[in-house]
Each structure stands twice: as structure tokens, then as C-alpha cells.
Structure 1
């Protein structure tokens, strides 16, 4: 079966990133490996992943390998200064499930928006009564280098299509 709209896709891969700063490209370094023990599954056409990522996988079959690079523009774009905000520290209390150590610079805070969607923010700086957070995607500004294999391709169920995500062993449990 080929990867097409509304198929469930499982991938094994290594993701390396690089960044171009002042006309000098950094050497790619590994940031994520998904192996046979923990493949990455998504609903093709509704993954929330960069469009170009899905476009480059379209039509491939189980067992095929892939290798491609998404430029920062094709991936998550450039950092948006409007996504950097100072928020009162009291919003991150122990009653809300936060520990003081979680607010240290460089940490990623697991958050939920007003619609119940999970997100994260990187702690940039402790400002005393406030904390400066970056809500940009962690891979914003990076070129993404993927090398991997199509682990599985199957038809999505009607329920998966309706819900917009993978169910069962490799997905969301209701």
C-alpha cells in the first residue's frame, strides 16, 4: 500500500538539524531517533507536520527508505518575536503541577492552551516576578535532515479520520 491521504504511516528515522547563521552552516547534529521499538505514527494529510515533509513521503510504500532535507522555511520557518512572552511566575505554581526547578532557563514547560491542546514553551529568562517564555516551535529556524524507512502503511479507520489522529497501539487511547 502506498502513502496517500488518510493512511496511517509509521516511520523509523534519525532527525538531524543544522542552522545557518551569518552565512555559515553548522554541521548537522542528531536530535531524535525513532527505531523499530518506537516508530513514529501519524495520519497522513492531517499530521500537523510541515507540508513538505508529507509531500516528500507521498507515494512511498512499506519497506522503502527515504532521505531528504527540509529547509527552515519548508519546516517551521523563522522565529516569531510575537511568540516570546513574559508571564507571571504565579501561573506556574505547585498547585498547577509545576516545580520551581521547571522554571530554570533552557527548560521546556509542558503546557495546555485554552482549547486543551498540548504545547510547550522554552524558558528563556527569569525576570523576578515574571518568566520570559518562547512559544516558537523548538525546531524553528533549523534545517531538518531526515533519513529513515517506512515502517508501516495502512488504511486509517473511519474513527481515526473523524478524530484526526492515530488510535490503538501507536496512537491515542480514548
Structure 2
């Protein structure tokens, strides 16, 4: 079986990131590893992952390895200034599940959007009564270096096709 639209794919991988600033590229550093004991599962064609990521996996078979780099523009693009917002600190009270330790600069806040889907925002600055939050994807502006192996391929269920979420996956 080959990777194609509407299949559930399980992969192991190491993700390294790098960034080019002022024409100087940083050395790639590891930010995530998923191994055979904790594979990453997604519905091919309905994953929400960068299009180029899926394009480079398309047609691969179980047991095949892969190694590729997605330039920032092929991955999550550059930061969108409109996604950097000041939000009243009162929105992040302990009654709403936020501890004072969570509200430190540099932390990522676990949030829900209007459709109750999980999302996160990075705290850029504590401005006293407000927090300056960055709602851009955490990997925006980075080149993504993937190296891994295709572990499983199977047909997606009707529910998985409808939701894009893989049943039984973490």
C-alpha cells in the first residue's frame, strides 16, 4: 500500500529547525522526535500539515525512509503581525485554569478557539494589565528538516475522513 489521499499514515521522524537571518543560516537543531513507540499519525490529504510535507511523502510505502527540508515559505511561512495581540491579563485567571507560573514571558498558553479546537499562543511580553501574545504557529519563520520512516499505512474510517483526526492516536 502506498501513501495517498484518505489513508492514515504513521511515521517516525526527527524534526530539526533552522532559520536564516541577515543572510546567515543557523545550524539546524532538533525540536521533536517521534519513534516507533510513539509514532505520529495523520490522515493524508486532511492533516492540516504543510502541503509540501504531504507532497514529499506522497507515494511512499511502508518501510521507506524519507529526508527532506521545507523552506519556511513551504512550511508555515513568515510571522503575521495581525496575529500578535494584546489581551487583558484578567482573561487568564486561576478560575479559568491559568496559574501565575503559566503567565511568564516565553511560555506557550494552551487555549481553545471559538470552535473548541486546541490552539496555543506564545507570551511575548507582560505589559502589566495585558499580555502581548503571538498566535502565529510556533514554527513560523523556520526551515523544517525532516528525517524519518513510514511505519504504517491504512485506509481511514469515515469518521477519520470527516474530522481529520485519527482514532486511537495520541
TM category (shorter chain) comes to over 0.9
Counterparts of 2:67 and 2:164 in 1: how far apart (Å)?
26
The corresponding residue for 1:51 is: 51
CA displacement at 1:159 relative to structure 2: 2.1
- 1:49-107 deviations in whole A, cap 9, x for unaligned? 00000000000011000000000000000001111000000000000000011110100
Partner in structure 2 of residue 66 of structure 1? 66
Secondary structure of the equivalent of 1:73? helix
**Aligned residue for 1:124?**
124
1:28 is aligned to 2:22: no
Q: CA RMSD in A?
A: 0.7
Map 1:149-164 to 2 at 5 A: 149-164=149-164
Residues 42, 164 of structure 2: 8 Å contact kept: no
Greater Cα offset, 154-163 or 79-88 = 154-163
The alignment partner of 1:128 has SS state of: coil
How far off its partner does 1:158 sit?
1.8
What is aligned with 1:113?
113
For structure 2, the 5+ residue unaligned runs are: none
**CA shift at 1:20, angstroms?**
0.2
The 1-side partners of 2:147 and 2:132 are apart by 35
- 2:6 corresponds to which residue? 6
**Counterparts of 2:91 and 2:162 in 1: how far apart (Å)?**
34
Aligned length: 170
Q: How far off its partner does 1:44 sit? A: 0.3
Instruction: Indicate the SS of the match to 1:125.
Output: strand
Q: Which runs of 4+ in 1 moved over 4 A?
A: none
Indicate the residue corresponding to 1:146 in structure 2. 146
TM-score, length-scaled by structure 1: 0.96
Instruction: Name the residue aligned to 2:133.
Output: 133
Q: Is there any run of 5+ residues in structure 1 with no aligned partner, and where? A: none
Partner of 2:37: 37
Alignment partners' CA distance in 2, 1:122 and 1:140? 12
Q: Is the CA contact (8 Å cut-off) linking 2:7 and 2:156 kept in structure 1? A: yes
